[in-house]
Amino acid sequence: MDSSFKAVVFAIGFTALAPIAPALAGELEDEIIGYMDFATATAGIILPQQLTREVWEGVHFIDTRSLADFEAGTIPGARHIEWREVPGRLDEIPEEGMVILFCNTGVRSSQATFAARVMGRENVLVMQSGYEGWLRDGAYRPD
C-alpha cells in the first residue's frame, strides 16, 4: 500500500471508512494488525529523561499541539504539525534520523505517532508525558 493511499485512509478515519469502502477498510485492518503483531510494548516511545544533550543534537521535534499552544511555547527548534495533520503531511517529516512527536501529555501525539509508524515511518517516536513531562523531567534543555 503506498503512503499517499495510507494518508487518505487515515485522514478519512477508521469508522467513516468502514461503511464507505469495506475492501479498503480490510486492507487498512491488515496493515494495523501486521504492525501490531511485531511491535514491542515500548515501540515508538521515548521519555523526557532520555533526551540527553547527545540525543538532542540529532533529533527533529514535531509539536502536534494546537497552533495557539505551539505559539505560547514549545521545545526549541520544534516544527508545528497538528496531530490530525500528521498522516496527510508525512512528507514534511524527515525520513532519516530520530523524529519525536509531542503534545501536552503524549495522548494525541501517540495517535499521530501510531499513524506515522503504520504508514512506514519507523524513525518516529512519541515523547511519553509530552511537553509537560519535558518541562518537568527533561534530561536536557538548550540555553
63 pLDDT exceeds 50?
yes
For residue 33, how far is the Cα from the chain centroid?
A: 18
Dist. CA 86–CA 117, nearest whole Å: 11
Q: Which CATH number fits domain 41-137: 3.40.366.10, 3.40.50.10800, 3.40.250.10, 1.10.10.10?
A: 3.40.250.10
Answer whether 0.85 is exceeded by the pTM. no
Task: Give the C-alpha separation, 93 to 59, whole Å.
Answer: 12
The residue type of 51 is L
Q: What region does 40 belong to: left with phi over 0, alpha with psi -120 to 50, or beta?
A: beta
Cα separation, 28 vs 127, in Å, equals 25
Res. 143: pLDDT tops 90: no
For the stretch 6-48, pLDDT in tens is 444 444 444 444 454 555 567 767 766 665 556 555 568 999 9
* Residues sharing a CB contact under 8 Å with residue 115, sequence separation 6 or more, in sequence order: 10, 86, 87
- Written as nine digits, the cell of 32 is 494495523
Mean pLDDT of 107-135: 94
pLDDT at 31 (0 to 100): 67
pLDDT of residue 6: 46
Closest CA to 98 of 66, 62, 73, 128: 62
Tell me the pLDDT tens digit for each residue of 73-112. Answer: 999 999 999 999 999 999 999 999 999 999 999 999 999 9
